[in-house]
A and B are shown apart, each in its own frame.
Chain A
Amino acid sequence: MTWVLALILWPLIGACVVTGLRRNDRFATLAAVGFALVELAMIIPTWLTYEPSGARLQHTSSMDWIPSFGVHISFGIDGIALVMIAVIAFLVPIVIGALGTADKLPQDRSAGGFLALILVQEAITVAVFAATDVFLFYVLFEIMLIPMYFLIGGYGGANRQYAAVKFFLYSFLGGLIMLASAIGAYSLAADELGDGTFDWATLVTVVRDAPVGTQIWLFLGFFLAFAIKAPLVPLHTWLPDAAGEAPIGVAVLLVGVLDKVGTFGFLRYCLPMFPEASKDLAPLVLVLAVIGVLYGSILAAGQQDMKRFVAYVSIAHFGFIALGIFAFTQQAAVGAVSYMLNHSLATGMLIVVLGLVIARGGSTRISDYGGMFKVTPLLGGVLLIAGLSTLSLPGTNSFVSEFLVLLGAFDTQPVYAILATIGMVLAAAYVLWLYQRLMTGPVRGNALVGAGGGPGTAMAPELGARKTIKDLGGRELAILVPMVVLIIGLGFFPQPVLDTVTPSVDATLSALNGGQ
Chain B
Amino acid sequence: MLGNLAQQGQITAPQIAYDAILPVLIVLGAACVSVLFEAFLPRHMRWPSQVLLSLTGLAAAGIALAVYVSGSPVAGLTTLSGAVSVDKPALFLWGTLLALALPAILLIADRSVEPGGAFVAQAAIRPGTVQDRAQVGSTGMQTEVFPLALFALGGMMTFCAANDLLTMFIALEVLSLPLYLMCGLARRRRLLSQEAAVKYFLLGAFSSAFFLYGLALLYGYAGSVKLADIANAAAGSDRSDMLLFAGMGLLVVGLLFKGSVGPFHTWTPDVYQGAPTPVTGFMAACTKVAAFGGILRVLTVGFESTSWEWRGVLWAVAIISMAIGAVLGLTQTDVKRMIAYSSIAHAGFLLVGTLAMTDQGLSGTLFYLLAYGFTTLAAFGVVSLVRDTKGEATHLSAWAGLAKRSPVLAGVFTFLLLALAGIPLTSGFVGKFVVFSAALRDGMAPLVVIALVFSAVAAFFYLRVVVLMYFSKPSPDGPTVTVPGAFTTAAITLGVIITLLLGIAPAFALDWAGAGAFAF
Within 8 A of A (CB), among B228-262: none
Is the CB of B507 closer than 8 A to any CB of chain A?
A: yes
Binds B, one of A168-176, A339-347, A420-428, A442-450: A168-176
In the complex, what residue of chain B is closest to A155 when comparing beta carbons? B471
Q: Can you list, as one digit per residue, whether each of B467-505 has a CB less than 8 Å from chain A (1) or not (0)? A: 100111000000000000000000000000000000001
Q: Can you list, as one digit per residue, whether each of A185-224 has a CB less than 8 Å from chain B (1) or not (0)? A: 0110010000000000000000000000000010000000
Q: Which of B429, B434, B440, B506 contacts A180 (CB 8 A)?
A: B440
- Docked CA distance A146–B463 (Å): 11
Is the CB of B464 closer than 8 A to any CB of chain A?
A: yes
In the complex, the answer to whether B467 meets A187 with C-beta atoms within 8 Å is no
CB distance from A117 to the nearest CB of B (A): 12
- Docked CA distance A164–B455 (Å): 18
Binds B, one of A9-17, A137-145, A306-314, A374-382: A137-145
Q: Which of B445, B453, B463, B511 contacts A173 (CB 8 A)?
A: B453
Q: Which of B456, B464, B472, B510 has the most CB of A within 10 A?
A: B456
Residues of B within 8 A of A149 (CB): 463
Residues of A within 8 A of B448 (CB): 180, 183
In the complex, what residue of chain B is closest to A217 when comparing beta carbons? B445
Range of interface residues on B (Cβ < 8 Å): 20 to 34
Given A176-B452, A180-B449, are A143 and B423 neighbors across the interface (CB < 8 Å)?
yes
In the complex, what residue of chain A is closest to B459 when comparing beta carbons? A172
Within 8 A of A (CB), among B419-454: 423-425, 429-430, 433-434, 436-437, 440-441, 445, 448-449, 452-453
Is the CB of A179 closer than 8 A to any CB of chain B?
A: yes
- Docked CA distance A142–B471 (Å): 21
Q: Which of B423, B460, B471 contacts A161 (CB 8 A)?
A: B471
Residues of B within 8 A of A395 (CB): none
Is the CB of A317 closer than 8 A to any CB of chain B?
A: no
Residues of A within 8 A of B453 (CB): 173, 176
- Docked CA distance A179–B436 (Å): 10
Residues of B within 8 A of A138 (CB): 424
In the complex, what residue of chain B is closest to A145 when comparing beta carbons? B423
Within 8 A of A (CB), among B263-282: none
In the complex, the answer to whether A190 meets B441 with C-beta atoms within 8 Å is yes
Given A165-B464, A169-B460, are A177 and B452 neighbors across the interface (CB < 8 Å)?
yes
Is the CB of B324 closer than 8 A to any CB of chain A?
A: no
The A contact surface, by secondary structure, is helix
Q: Which of A140, A153, A176 contacts B456 (CB 8 A)?
A: A176
The B contact surface, by secondary structure, is helix
Q: Which of A153, A177, A183 contacts B467 (CB 8 A)?
A: A153
Is the CB of A495 closer than 8 A to any CB of chain B?
A: no
In the complex, the answer to whether A179 meets B510 with C-beta atoms within 8 Å is no
Is the CB of B293 closer than 8 A to any CB of chain A?
A: no
In the complex, the answer to whether A184 meets B440 with C-beta atoms within 8 Å is yes
- Docked CA distance A58–B187 (Å): 63
Q: How many residues of A contact B (CB 8 A)?
A: 33
CB distance from A216 to the nearest CB of B (A): 13
Is the CB of B23 closer than 8 A to any CB of chain A?
A: no
Is the CB of B514 closer than 8 A to any CB of chain A?
A: yes
In the complex, what residue of chain B is closest to A186 when comparing beta carbons? B437
- Docked CA distance A179–B423 (Å): 12
In the complex, the answer to whether A143 meets B440 with C-beta atoms within 8 Å is no
CB distance from B90 to the nearest CB of A (A): 21
- Docked CA distance A222–B60 (Å): 50
Is the CB of A160 closer than 8 A to any CB of chain B?
A: yes
In the complex, the answer to whether B470 meets A66 with C-beta atoms within 8 Å is no
In the complex, the answer to whether B424 meets A143 with C-beta atoms within 8 Å is yes
Q: Can you list, as one digit per residue, whether each of A353-393 has a CB less than 8 Å from chain B (1) or not (0)? A: 00000000000000000000000000000000000000000
Q: Can you list, as one digit per residue, whether each of A63-78 has a CB less than 8 Å from chain B (1) or not (0)? A: 0011111000000000
Is the CB of A154 closer than 8 A to any CB of chain B?
A: yes
CB distance from B505 to the nearest CB of A (A): 8
Given A142-B423, A153-B470, are A183 and B507 neighbors across the interface (CB < 8 Å)?
no
In the complex, the answer to whether A66 meets B510 with C-beta atoms within 8 Å is yes
Within 8 A of B (CB), among A200-250: 217
CB distance from B434 to the nearest CB of A (A): 8
Residues of B within 8 A of A173 (CB): 452-453, 456
CB distance from A178 to the nearest CB of B (A): 10
In the complex, the answer to whether A180 meets B436 with C-beta atoms within 8 Å is yes
In the complex, the answer to whether A183 meets B437 with C-beta atoms within 8 Å is yes
In the complex, the answer to whether B424 meets A139 with C-beta atoms within 8 Å is yes
In the complex, the answer to whether A139 meets B449 with C-beta atoms within 8 Å is no
Q: Which of A142, A150, A187, A190 contacts B470 (CB 8 A)?
A: A150
In the complex, the answer to whether B449 meets A177 with C-beta atoms within 8 Å is yes
In the complex, the answer to whether A66 meets B507 with C-beta atoms within 8 Å is yes
In the complex, the answer to whether A187 meets B471 with C-beta atoms within 8 Å is no
In the complex, the answer to whether B456 meets A161 with C-beta atoms within 8 Å is no
- Docked CA distance A160–B456 (Å): 20
In the complex, what residue of chain B is closest to A136 when comparing beta carbons? B424
Residues of B within 8 A of A65 (CB): 505, 507
Is the CB of B418 closer than 8 A to any CB of chain A?
A: yes
CB distance from B394 to the nearest CB of A (A): 22
Q: Can you list, as one digit per residue, whether each of A244-270 has a CB less than 8 Å from chain B (1) or not (0)? A: 000000000000000000000000000
Residues of B within 8 A of A217 (CB): 445
CB distance from B507 to the nearest CB of A (A): 5
Q: Which of B429, B430, B467, B506 has the most CB of A within 10 A?
A: B467
In the complex, the answer to whether B511 meets A180 with C-beta atoms within 8 Å is no
In the complex, the answer to whether B471 meets A154 with C-beta atoms within 8 Å is yes
CB distance from A278 to the nearest CB of B (A): 21
Given A153-B470, A176-B455, A176-B456, are A187 and B440 neighbors across the interface (CB < 8 Å)?
yes
Residues of A within 8 A of B436 (CB): 179-180, 183
CB distance from B92 to the nearest CB of A (A): 15
Given A67-B507, A68-B507, are A187 and B441 neighbors across the interface (CB < 8 Å)?
yes
In the complex, the answer to whether B423 meets A153 with C-beta atoms within 8 Å is no
- Docked CA distance A168–B417 (Å): 14
- Docked CA distance A65–B8 (Å): 63
Within 8 A of B (CB), among A103-148: 138-140, 142-143, 146
- Docked CA distance A183–B511 (Å): 19
Given A139-B425, A172-B459, A176-B452, are A153 and B471 neighbors across the interface (CB < 8 Å)?
yes
Given A139-B424, A154-B470, A187-B441, are A68 and B510 neighbors across the interface (CB < 8 Å)?
yes
Residues of A within 8 A of B506 (CB): 66
CB distance from B500 to the nearest CB of A (A): 13
In the complex, the answer to whether B424 meets A165 with C-beta atoms within 8 Å is no
Q: Which of B456, B507, B510 contacts A169 (CB 8 A)?
A: B456
Q: Can you list, as one digit per residue, whether each of B19-39 has a CB less than 8 Å from chain A (1) or not (0)? A: 000000000000000000000
- Docked CA distance A161–B467 (Å): 7
In the complex, the answer to whether A165 meets B463 with C-beta atoms within 8 Å is yes
Residues of B within 8 A of A186 (CB): 437
In the complex, what residue of chain A is closest to B507 when comparing beta carbons? A66
Q: Which of B423, B424, B425, B472 has the most CB of A within 10 A?
A: B424
Q: Identify 16 new A-B residue pairs, CB closer than 8 A, beyond the known A66-B430, A164-B471.
A: A66-B507, A66-B510, A142-B429, A143-B425, A149-B463, A153-B471, A154-B470, A165-B464, A168-B463, A172-B423, A176-B452, A176-B456, A180-B440, A183-B441, A184-B445, A187-B440
List, sorted by A's number, 29 A–B pairs whose CB atoms are closer than 8 Å. Answer: A67-B507, A68-B507, A68-B514, A139-B424, A140-B424, A153-B467, A153-B471, A154-B471, A161-B467, A161-B472, A165-B460, A168-B459, A168-B463, A172-B423, A172-B459, A173-B456, A176-B453, A176-B456, A177-B449, A179-B433, A180-B449, A180-B452, A183-B433, A183-B440, A184-B440, A184-B445, A187-B437, A187-B441, A217-B445
A→B interface (CB under 8 Å): 65-69, 138-140, 142-143, 146, 149-150, 153-154, 160-161, 164-165, 168-169, 172-173, 176-177, 179-180, 183-184, 186-187, 190, 217
B→A interface (CB under 8 Å): 418, 423-425, 429-430, 433-434, 436-437, 440-441, 445, 448-449, 452-453, 455-456, 459-460, 463-464, 467, 470-472, 505-507, 510-511, 514
Counting from the closest, the 8 A-B pairs by CB-CB distance are A139-B424, A173-B456, A176-B452, A183-B437, A153-B471, A187-B441, A142-B424, A161-B471
